[in-house]
Amino acid sequence: MSESRHLSCACGEMKWHVAPNADGTHLICHCKDCASFARHLQQEEYLENGGTELFQCLPDDIVFDAGKENLKMLRLSPTGLFRWYAGCCNTPIANTLPRNLPFAGVILPKGRSDFGRLKCVFKGDQAPVPVKERGVSPTVFKIFKRMVLALIIGRRSSPFWADAKTACVEAQILSKEERKAAQR
DSSP 39-80: HHTT-GGGEETTEEEEEEE-GGGEEEEE-GGGEEEEESSTTS
Give mean pLDDT, residues 120-136. Answer: 90
pLDDT over 60 at 2, yes or no: no
- What pLDDT score was predicted for residue 50? 87
> CB-based contacts of 181: which residues, under 8 Å, 6+ apart?
40
Segment 118-139 shows an average pLDDT of 91
Q: Contact, 89 vs 10, CB < 8 A?
A: yes
- Who's near 12: CB < 8 A, 6+ residues apart? none
pTM listed for this prediction: 0.94
Cα 155 off chain centre by:
18
Report whether 54 contacts 105 (CB < 8 A).
Answer: yes
Distance of CA 51 to the CA centre of its chain: 12
Q: What is the pLDDT of residue 126?
A: 84
- Distance from C-alpha of 109 to C-alpha of 46, rounded to nearest angstrom: 6
